[in-house]
Structure 1
Amino acid sequence: MEMRRAVVSGSFYPDNEKEIKKYIEHFNNSFTVDNLDITPRAIISPHAGYIYSGFTANLAFNLSSKEKFKRVIVIGPSHKVYLEGASIALYDEYETPLGNIKIDKEYSLELKEKYDFLNFLEDAHYEHSTETQAPFIKNYFDGLDMIEIVYGKVNFTQLSKLIDELLLNRDNFVVISTDLSHFYTLEEAKKLDNICLNAIVKKDLNLFDKGCEACGLTGVKAMIQSSLKNNLKTSVLHYCTSFDRTKDNNRVVGYTSVLIGE
């Protein structure tokens, strides 16, 4: 059996079940939601270390976990490997400290055959943008299958066509992974990130080009284009920066989570 090994456990998130569960319990004790006016179909989630963006990501997964899905498709940018197009993981299982997740290999192969920008490059899956989502998926969607797509140089309209197909199947839940601006002062970071947040809320693709900086901008724009086409609502759940943890206001990274649905 071929395994997509966990490569950033113990660094971006704990490498044991007890510690991850402790994080999630702490996150869930820190918020209450009275009324959710969106039926979740997708989320945008950050991918930094859990001490920085774990609360923000957890919120989106928690609020989406009441819905019934059969598979979760995680789409994130490649940070270490340059690739044309995107790579879809053709493994049997996905390793996490909470237990392994079954990969829907048959569905992955179908997508690979249909979209010419999808290939399988093993090195592309040594990737934290997608892996940091996996423990949340195992915790909140235990028993569901997972699909991992790591993209490099690809046009957001191409990626949006794939997302459109994924959204046609109500068994699918889509996770778009991104962090926001990197290594600006706190004041500058908030200005740049506010452009991104406004573009997401207004579903304004042109606004993204007015200064939004995000490592997963391609995925975010693709998701917003699909939201426009499929008449989905967007709701920003949480925004924070690394300053909240480090108190360093000179080299700040921004994070957000967004709920997308009907």
Structure 2
Amino acid sequence: MSIRKAVVSGSFYPNDKKEILEYFNQFNSLKKDIENFEDVKAIIVPHAGYIYSGYTANLAYSCIKKQKPKRVIVIGPSHRVYLKGGSVSLYDEYETPLGNIQIDKTFSENLIEKYDFLDFNIECEFEHSTETQMPFIKYYLKDSLVVEIVYGDIDFNDLSELIDNLLEDDNNFIVISTDLSHFHSESEANKFDNNCMNAIKNKDLNLFDYGEACGKVGVKAMIKSSINKNYKTQILDYCTSAKITGDKSRVVGYTSALIGV
């Protein structure tokens, strides 16, 4: 039994089950009313420390808690390793403090066989953009299998084609992981981030050229797929790290969104 170990628990999120549940309970106690879609096909969520972006991510996950997808495909950018294309995890299970999640290994192997830009790179076991999503998935979609795709140097059109094909199967649900702009002043960050959020909201691919996001390729691919499939999009929340730190001179932006019908 091979296990993708939780490597950023205790830093990006608690390594204690009770503490994670306390986070989720607190997020849900503050949850605002959202006009949910009839059928959510994908979410866009941040991947920073839960203290900074957990509330924003939780809003999206709480909207899908009644859905029961067979598998959740988590797509996030590589921060530590240069990749040409993308890496698909081929472990048996994914470790979280809430209990391990079974990886759909056969499905993952088939993706690698089908797409020449996908492979398995063991160095991606240190990637936080995808790992930070796993406790949310274990909590809200506890019966689902997971597939982890970490991408690097890849054309958004190729990634969008993959997403299009994944969404042909109603058993699949997509999670796109991204943070927004990094280390600008609050006012500058708001300008960049509004461009990204308007690109998502209005399904305008050109607007992404005027925004910043570490996972912009994944978001742009998802929005292209939303256009192809005539899905609706909805921004749920936006904040920056200044909300927690109080420092507006150098912030990181976070948003979450729904995609569906």
Counterpart secondary structure, 2:87: strand
Q: Which amino acid aligns with 2:23?
A: Y
CA positional deviation for 1:143: 1.7
Match of 1:219 in 2: 218
Check conservation: 2:40, 2:64, Cα contact below 8 A. Answer: yes
Counterpart secondary structure, 1:43: strand
CA positional deviation for 1:124: 1.5
CA positional deviation for 1:66: 1.4
The CA distance in 2 between the partners of 1:135 and 1:162, in whole Å, is 25
Q: Which amino acid aligns with 1:56?
A: T
Cα root mean square deviation, aligned = 0.8
Check conservation: 1:2, 1:92, Cα contact below 8 A. Answer: yes
Match of 2:107 in 1: 107
Check conservation: 1:125, 1:150, Cα contact below 8 A. Answer: no
Q: Which amino acid aligns with 1:100?
A: N
Counterpart secondary structure, 1:173: strand
CA positional deviation for 1:33: 2.4
Match of 1:139 in 2: 139
Counterpart secondary structure, 1:42: strand
Match of 1:28 in 2: 28
Match of 1:234 in 2: 233
The CA distance in 2 between the partners of 1:241 and 1:54, in whole Å, is 12
Match of 2:127 in 1: 127
User: 1:94-120 CA distances to partner (integer Å, 9 max, x unpaired)?
Assistant: 000000000000000111100000000
Q: Is 1:71 the counterpart of 2:76 in the alignment?
A: no
The CA distance in 1 between the partners of 2:124 and 2:253, in whole Å, is 24
Which consecutive unaligned segments of at least 5 residues does structure 2 have?
none
The CA distance in 2 between the partners of 1:107 and 1:140, in whole Å, is 22
Match of 2:7 in 1: 7
CA positional deviation for 1:34: 5.9
The CA distance in 2 between the partners of 1:113 and 1:143, in whole Å, is 26
Q: Is 1:260 the counterpart of 2:255 in the alignment?
A: no
Which consecutive unaligned segments of at least 5 residues does structure 1 have?
none
Q: Which amino acid aligns with 1:230?
A: K
TM-score (norm 1): 0.98
Check conservation: 1:38, 1:260, Cα contact below 8 A. Answer: no
The CA distance in 1 between the partners of 2:102 and 2:67, in whole Å, is 19
CA positional deviation for 1:38: 4.3
Q: Which amino acid aligns with 2:251?
A: V
Q: Which amino acid aligns with 1:176?
A: I
Counterpart secondary structure, 2:63: helix
CA positional deviation for 1:35: 3.8
Match of 2:59 in 1: 59
Q: Is 1:183 the counterpart of 2:183 in the alignment?
A: yes
Q: Which amino acid aligns with 2:169?
A: N
TM-score (norm 2): 0.99
Check conservation: 1:38, 1:233, Cα contact below 8 A. Answer: no
Check conservation: 1:160, 1:223, Cα contact below 8 A. Answer: yes
Match of 2:166 in 1: 166
Check conservation: 1:93, 1:100, Cα contact below 8 A. Answer: yes
The CA distance in 1 between the partners of 2:167 and 2:225, in whole Å, is 9
The CA distance in 2 between the partners of 1:97 and 1:175, in whole Å, is 20
The CA distance in 1 between the partners of 2:44 and 2:37, in whole Å, is 17
CA positional deviation for 1:31: 1.5
Match of 1:152 in 2: 152
Counterpart secondary structure, 2:51: helix
Counterpart secondary structure, 1:206: helix
The percentage of counterpart residues that share the same residue type is 61
